[in-house]
Structure 1
Amino acid sequence: MAAIGEQVRVAGLALAGVTVLIAEEPDAVRRAWQSLPHDVTLVIVTPAAADTLGQAMLDSARPLAAVMPT
Structure 2
Amino acid sequence: MGRVAALGERTRVTGLALAGAVVLVADDPGAVRRIWQSLPDGIDLVILTPAASEALGLDPAASGGRRPLTAVMPS
TM-score normalised by the chain length of structure 2: 0.85
Q: Which entry has the higher C-alpha Rg, 1 or 2?
A: 2
Corresponding position: 1:49 with 2:59? no
1:66 pairs, out of 65, 68, 71, with 71
The AA in structure 1 aligned to 2:26 is A
Q: 1:6-65 CA deviation, whole Å, 9 max, x = no partner?
A: 000000001111000000011100011111123100000000000000126x52611000
**How many pairs does the alignment contain?**
69
1:27 pairs, out of 27, 30, 33, with 30
The 1-side partners of 2:11 and 2:73 are apart by: 13
Higher helix share: 1
Gaps of at least 5 residues in structure 2 are none
SS in 1 for 2:43: coil
Q: Would you identify which runs of 4 or more consecutive aligned residues in structure 1 move more than 6 Å?
A: none
Gaps of at least 5 residues in structure 1 are none
* Root-mean-square deviation (Å): 1.4
Alignment match, 2:17: 14
